[in-house]
Amino acid sequence: MNRDEARLRELGLWPPYGLLPAAAPERAAGVATLDWSALEDRIRTCSACGLCQGRTLAVPGTGSRNARLLLLGEAPGADEDRAGEPFVGRAGRLLDQMLLAIGLSRQQVYIANVLKCRPPQNRDPAPDELAACRPFLDRQIALLRPQVILALGSFAAQSLLGGDGRVGALRGRVHRCGDSAVVVTYHPAYLLRSPDDKRRAWEDLCQLRALLQEPAP
């Protein structure tokens, strides 16, 4: 072990993002056969990482289980932790407005996060937390089979696409995750802090709308 690796391990940042430890095969296999109700029950009672100790409620996801569009964020915040639903605070209200701008409501889409429990003080997700939650996300995508996934922010995009790309480098083109097209845009919480980027987010939404207007494969 070199000195850099030792320091990263001490800070809880090893392995670096993009080299995340895979979920235990038996855990992934146990989730891969669950239906929607059993999956949500498993998420709500999950104790696979330390986030379970500080959560109020786990946040499985919300919306239509027949949706063509999956919106994927990073992790629940304080409002979501209390409500047990994703995107219910100020960022959620902005997300509702973004959907309305392209003729959609949250009842017509499915909304979830990469992490299902809130990290303390809304810190970035840790590698072991991402690995523990990954089977849940994989199963949600398998059940939903979305035509398009809108990745909201860097962590969502990296979870779907791998690597360490940032939103600015990934947006503006169509990516693939399995059978789903992936559009990357800014997280609504970021747009509340940086309203000048709302114009770019609108461009991404227009790209998303065009993809949804294409016939489903």
Q: At what angle do helices 154-161 and 127-144 cross, to 10 degrees?
A: 70
Cα separation, 17 vs 158, in Å, equals 8
- For the chain, domain boundaries: 23-213
Average pLDDT over residues 115-141: 94
Task: Report the C-alpha gap between 190 and 70 in whole angstroms.
Answer: 19
105 CB-near residues (< 8 Å, 6+ apart): 96, 99
| Distance of alpha carbon 21 from alpha carbon 31, whole angstroms | 17
* Burial of residue 56, with CB atoms counted within 10 A of its CB: 0-12 exposed, 13-18 middle, 19 or more buried: middle
Quickly state the pLDDT bin for 26 (edges 50, 70, 90). low
Euclidean distance between CA atoms 95 and 71, whole angstroms = 10
**Residue 192: C-alpha distances to residues 125, 197, 199, 217 (Å):** 21, 9, 13, 35
Residue pair 42/136 in contact (Cβ under 8 Å)? The answer is: yes
Given this model, what pLDDT does residue 73 score? 97
**For residue 72, what are the β-bridge partners?**
112, 151
Bridge-based pairing state of the strands 175-177 and 110-113: unpaired
Q: Which range, of 24-28, 66-70, 139-143, 145-149, averages the lowest pLDDT? A: 24-28
Q: What percent of the chain shows pLDDT beyond 70?
A: 87
Tokens 């294409």 sit on residue:
214
Q: Where does the pLDDT of residue 215 fall: very low under 50, low under 70, confident under 90, or very high at 90 and above?
A: confident
Q: What is the mean pLDDT of the chain?
A: 89
Per-residue model confidence as pLDDT tens digits over 168-207: 999 999 999 999 999 999 999 999 999 999 999 999 999 9
Q: How far is the C-alpha of 161 from the C-alpha of 27, rounded, in Å? A: 22
Reported as a single tens digit per residue, the pLDDT across 133-169 is: 999 999 999 999 999 999 999 999 999 999 989 999 9
Residues 23-213: name the CATH superfamily.
Uracil-DNA glycosylase-like domain (3.40.470.10)
Tell me the two tokens of residue 65: 């289980």
